[in-house]
Structure 1
C-alpha cells in the first residue's frame, strides 16, 4: 500500500491578480493561496507532507480538454497592457487576465497532473494541490467564473490516457456548479461527476437549468452526472453528510472508481460571501475521510473556490490533516438535515433510480417534483455585481466569523495520540498481522481482580473469563486515556469482553458509547440510560430483547459475493451513528457472524470518522483472518475492494426501509425521504 501525502504549492501562482477595480472578480485574491499555505505551516503540516514541485502543463495536455483557439487567446495575453487585458477579460463571464495569468494557469494544470502522477505511480497515497486560477467553470472554448483551464477535467483525461483508467470519480464540493466539468464529461460514462451547489431554483450563478437534479448526463453518459442543488442558503454539516450518505457514497461504491479527484472548493464553508453556508471546517475532514475509502485510497484534492480567508485556510488544513491519516475531529452541530436538503436529496435519488442498481427497489413513486419552484424560500440575487453591495456591508459579519473560527478550532483540535493502533501479544499471534502495531503490556491477574471486583461481578462469573480480560482492558485503557487512537483485542469470550468494556468505558466517564456487535451475543448490555447505543448485526432476531432507540437489531446475512452490505452501512448504520455522535466506538466480532471480512472491514473503515477516530475492536480469537483485515483498516487502509456490485435483494432493501421509517425521528440523519412528515425546516 502506498503511503505519504503530497502537497503541491508554487508561490508564483500568487502573481495572478486583478489590476483594476471589479466587484465581481475582486474576491479572487492571491492571499487565497498564501494564507492557506501559511496556515498549513502553522499547524506543522507542510513538513509532514511529501513536497512535489509544480511544472507547467504542456500545450498537448491542455488540448486534451480545451480548443486551440482558447489556448491561443490565453497565450496572447502575456504581452498585453492593462487596457487590452481588461478588454479581453470582458469577453468572459467573471474572469480577469494579468500578464502572468497564462503562466499561472499552466502551472495550475501541471501541478494537478504532477499530483495525479505521484498518486498513480505509488510515490504517495494521496495529496492536495493548492492552485490558482481554479478550473471547474472553464469550458472547452471559454474562461468562466475565475477559471481559465479546467484543471480537474484535464487531469481526468490525462489519467485515462496515461494510465488506462476506465472509471474516474470527480467530487465537486465547491458551492458553485462546475458546469465546465459537466459539459466536458456529460456524454462520458467513464467519468462519474458529482456536484452539490447553491442553486435556489436557478436564481444563483451560473443560473443554468442544466444545474438542476434532472440533468443526469447525455447519451452513454446518462446517470453519470449527479447534480444536487441546494435551494436555500445556510446548509450545514448535517446537510452535507446526508448528501454523502444518501447520494454520493452509494453511487461511488457501485461505480467502483480507480481514481478519485476532488474539485475542492471551500466557498461551501461557513462565512464565505459567495456560499452563505454554515458548514464548519471539520466537515471537510469527514468528507475527505469518506472519499479516502474509495479507489484503494488513490485521491487527488485540487483547490477550487473559497473567499473567506480564515474559513478557507482552516478547511484546507482539515483536509490535509485527514489525508495524512490524523484522527478526524468530532463533527459539531445538530445532526439533522433540513427539509430543503432532504427534498433535494430525494429528488436526486428519484432522477437516478433507473441508472443505479442500489436504487432499483427504492420507492420514489410518491414524488411529485418536490422542488416545485415555490418561491417561499429566501432567494439570492443571481447577479454577482449587484450582490457586492451587501457583501461590503457584511464586513462586520466576516470579522465575527473569523473570531468564531479562532475559538471553534481551539475547541475541536486535539493532540494526536502517540500510538496509532494498540494491541497485546497474549496469544502469540500478532506476528501474523500484516501491518505494524504497537504492543502494550496486558494486565496481570492481580490488576484485573482489583479492577473488576464487585463492579463487574455479575458479568464475570468464571475465573477463565476473568483472565481473558487482561489483554482487552490494557488496550481499552490506552484508548480511554487517549494514549492510543484505536486498538484491537482477541477474546475467547467476545460477548463478556464487550459487556465489560462498555461498562468500563461509561464508568471512566464516556457518556455516549456506540457498540456494533456482529454475531451471536450472549450478554446484552443495558442501554436504557442512553449512554450505550447497541446495533446488533445478526442473522436472526435476538430473543427476549425488543428494539428501542438505543438497541437496534439489524438482521442481515451477507450474500455470497459479499458486496451488498454497504447499502446497510450507508443507508442505516452510518446515519444512525452520526446522529448519536459517540465519544467511543466499539466494534465486536463474535461467534456465528453473518458478515464476510469485506463487510466487517467496511464498518471499521467508515466509522473511523466518529469519536475522534477512537475505535476499539474485540475479535473472537478463532478469527485470525478477521484480525488481519481489521488491523489493516485501523492503521489506515482504505475500504476493501468489492468488485462488481450485486444489489441487495428487495427483502433486504425493505428491511433497511422499515428500520429507517421506524427510527428516523429519533436518529435524524436517517432522513432522506420527505414522505413521512418531517417537522424540521
Structure 2
C-alpha cells in the first residue's frame, strides 16, 4: 500500500462569500471540490492511505496564534452577516462564514499571529511546523512556498528561528504586487539566530516558465536544502503560480509541479507534506494538484519540453542559506531576446485566454525494477526482480563517470548545480548510471543521485555497477524502486578546490546549456556570459 495520505473533508468546502467583495470573489469552495473530484477521477484517491480528519484543538492553534485572536474567531459562528462584514473589515482581503470556522480550509500562509489576512484565517503550515517540532522533537523543518504570493505570515513566525528554513518565490514587481512589503524582497534573510534561514525569490516580472522554476530549484533551493538537511518538508502549494491563473500570470505548466515534488522527495527520507494554498484557474489548479499527487505516489514524472535558459529575473547570486538574492540584471543575452519577446507577448494575454496542452496520462503503478548482477544478493528490495547475471564485459566497456570532488558536499553540489540542469535541458529518453568500486562514492550519496535522476526519462534508468559491494547494489535497487533516499546529514561547505572546479565547468558549459546560467558565480565573480 502507498505511504501517501490524502486529507479532505466536505466541511472544508462549506463556505461562501455573503456580500459583494470583488477581491475575495475568487476564493470559492469549488477550488477544493473540483480538485478532489479530479484526484478521484484519476484513480489517485484509492491509492492513498485513508486518514480520518479531526478538528484542530485550541492548544494547537495557540502554537502560533494569540489567545485574543482565537477568541475573536470563535465568536464568528453566532454573528449576523452585517456583524461578520464589520468584523472582517479590520483585516485584509479575508471573509468569514458563520457555518464554517472549525475546520481549516486553504489557504493559510498569509495569516499572522493576531490577524487574518489574504483569504487566510489560521496559518496551517506554520502550526504544522510548530506542532512537529514540539511533539516529534524535530530540529530542522524546511518550508517551501511556491504560491505566487509571498507567505509573509510564515516568514514572520520563523524569522528568528534557525530550526526552520523558509523558502518562497512570489510575484513582487518592485513591491507593486500584493502584499506590497519591503520584507518580501531578496535581502530579507531572517533576524538574530534566524539570519540566513529565510530565502525570498521575488519575481519582478510575470511570465515565468518551467525553466525559471527549475533554475531556482537547482541554483538556490536545493543547495540550501541539502546543506540544511531537513527532517520534514512542508510545501505551501499555491497553484496560482501555474499557467492561466488570474493572480499569477505565469507560464509554468502543471507538469512542472510533479517534478518539483519529486525533487523535494529526496529530502528528509521522503517525509513531505503538501498543503493547498492558492490557485484560481480551476483547470490549471486541478491539473497541477493531480501532477503533484502522482509524484507523491511515486509515479514516473512526465517529460518536459522546451527547457532552456531562464530569464534574468531567475538568475542568482550565492545560493546558500547564508546569502541569497535574485539578480535583476538589465543586460540580456542577444540569443535570448526573441524568447523574451515571445514570453512578453504571451503574458499580455488574459490568463483565462491562454491555452496549453492537457497533461498526458502518467503510468501507474510505477515501472518495475529488474536487477541483473554478478554479485550474489541475499534479498532484493520490494518491487525488484532478479534477471540472471550481467556479463562483466558490459561493465568493463562502459565509460567511467566521475563527479568532481569526493566529499558529500562537493558531490551533491556537482549533481545539483551541474548534472541536473544539464540533464533536464537535454531531456533524455534513457538515463545510464555507471559506478565502479574506485569511484569513492558512498552508498547514501549514490542513492541520492539515483533518486534525483529518477525524475528524468520517465524513470527509465539503466544502472551499471562494477566491483561494488552488496550494500551499494542493494541501495541502488532500493532507490530505483522508489524507496526514500537515505539522509546525508548537514553537508557543510564543499571543498574549495571542488567548488572552483565545478564553477569552471559551469562557466565552460553554460553557453551551450542555458539552464546552467547564473548571473554571478558563488565567489561573486560575474559569469563570462553575463
Same fold (TM over 0.5): yes
**Residues 225-374 of structure 1: pairs in structure 2 closer than 5 A:** 225-342=198-315, 345-346=316-317, 349=318, 355=322, 370-371=327-328
C-alpha separation between the residues in 2 aligned to 1:279 and 1:657?
Answer: 28
Cross-structure match for 2:511: 665
User: Can you give the 5+ residue segments of structure 1 that lack an aligned partner in the other structure?
Assistant: 109-131, 360-366, 375-390, 443-470, 472-489, 499-516, 522-535, 538-553
Q: How many residues align?
A: 510
Corresponding residue of 1:645: 491
* Pairwise CA distance, 1:648: 1.8
Cα–Cα, structure 1 residues 422 and 370, in superposed 2: closer, same or farther, change >3 Å?
closer
Larger Rg: 1
1:468-513 per-position Cα deviation (integer Å, ceiling 9, x unaligned): xxx5xxxxxxxxxxxxxxxxxx452344564xxxxxxxxxxxxxxx
Does the aligned pair in 2 maintain the 1:267–1:308 contact within 8 Å? yes
Equivalent residue for 1:10?
9
- SS of 2:368 mapped into structure 1: strand
**What is the CA-CA distance between 1:563 and the residue it aligns to?**
4.4
2:46 corresponds to 1:72: no
SS at match of 2:142: strand
Do the aligned partners of residues 399 and 232 (structure 1) sit closer, same or farther apart at CA in structure 2, a change above 3 Å counting?
closer
**C-alpha separation in 2, matches of 1:622 and 1:173:** 40
**Conserved? CA contact 1:558–1:596, under 8 Å:** no
Aligned to 2:454: 608
**2:469 equivalent among 611, 623, 632:** 623
Structure 1 match to 2:363: 415
Write out per-residue CA displacement over residues 620-674 of structure 1, whole angstroms, 9 at most, x where no aligned residue: 1553322111011111123322124242221100000100000001111111225
What does residue 153 of structure 1 align with?
A: 126
CA 167–414 in structure 1, closer or farther in 2 if over 3 Å, else same: closer
Per the alignment, do residues 626 and 310 of structure 1 end up closer, same or farther by CA in structure 2, a change over 3 Å counting?
same
- Corresponding residue for 2:113? 140
Please list the CA deviations of residues 568-620 of structure 1 after superposition, one character each: whole Å capped at 9, or x if unmatched. Answer: 11111111111111111010113522322222222201111111111111111
Q: How does 1:214-233 map to 2 (within 5 A)?
A: 214-233=187-206
* Alignment correspondent of 1:25: 24
Taking the aligned partners of 1:633 and 1:338, their CA distance within structure 2 comes to 33
Q: Is the 8 A contact 1:16 1:133 kept in 2?
A: no
User: Alpha carbon RMSD of aligned pairs, Å?
Assistant: 2.4
Would the alpha carbon gap of residues 282 and 575 (structure 1) be closer, same or farther in structure 2, given more than 3 Å must change?
A: same
Check 1:218–1:372 CA distance in 2 against 1; reply closer, same or farther (3 A cut).
Answer: farther
SS in 2 for 1:290: helix
Q: TM-score, normalised by structure 1?
A: 0.71
C-alpha contact (below 8 Å) 2:212/2:310 kept by paired residues: yes
TM-score for the superposition, normalised by structure 2: 0.91
Instruction: Please identify, of 39-48 and 431-440, the stretch whose mean Cα deviation from structure 2 is larger.
Output: 431-440
Tell me, yes or no, if the aligned pair for 1:494 and 1:590 is still in contact at 8 Å. no
- 8 Å contact from structure 2 (residues 34, 282) kept in 1: yes
1:578 aligns with 2:424: yes
Question: How far apart, CA to CA, are the structure 1 residues paired with 2:410 and 2:365?
Answer: 34
The corresponding residue for 2:380 is 433
SS in 2 for 1:5: coil
CA distance in structure 1 between the aligned counterparts of 2:497 and 2:349, rounded to whole angstroms: 53
Which one of 505, 527, 530 corresponds to residue 676 of structure 1?
527
Q: Structure 1 417/184 Cα, relative in aligned 2: closer, same or farther at 3 Å?
A: closer
Counterpart-to-counterpart distance in 1, 2:366 and 2:213: 31
Q: Is the 8 A contact 2:312 2:328 kept in 1?
A: no
1:109-162 CA distance string (max 9 Å, x none) = xxxxxxxxxxxxxxxxxxxxxxx2411000000000000000000011111111
2:340 aligns with none
Match of 1:597 in 2: 443
> What residue ranges of structure 2 are gaps of 5+ in the alignment?
332-346, 521-525
Counterparts in 2 of 1:32 and 1:610: CA distance versus 1, 3 Å: same
2:418/2:506 contact within 8 Å kept? yes
- 1:119 corresponds to: none
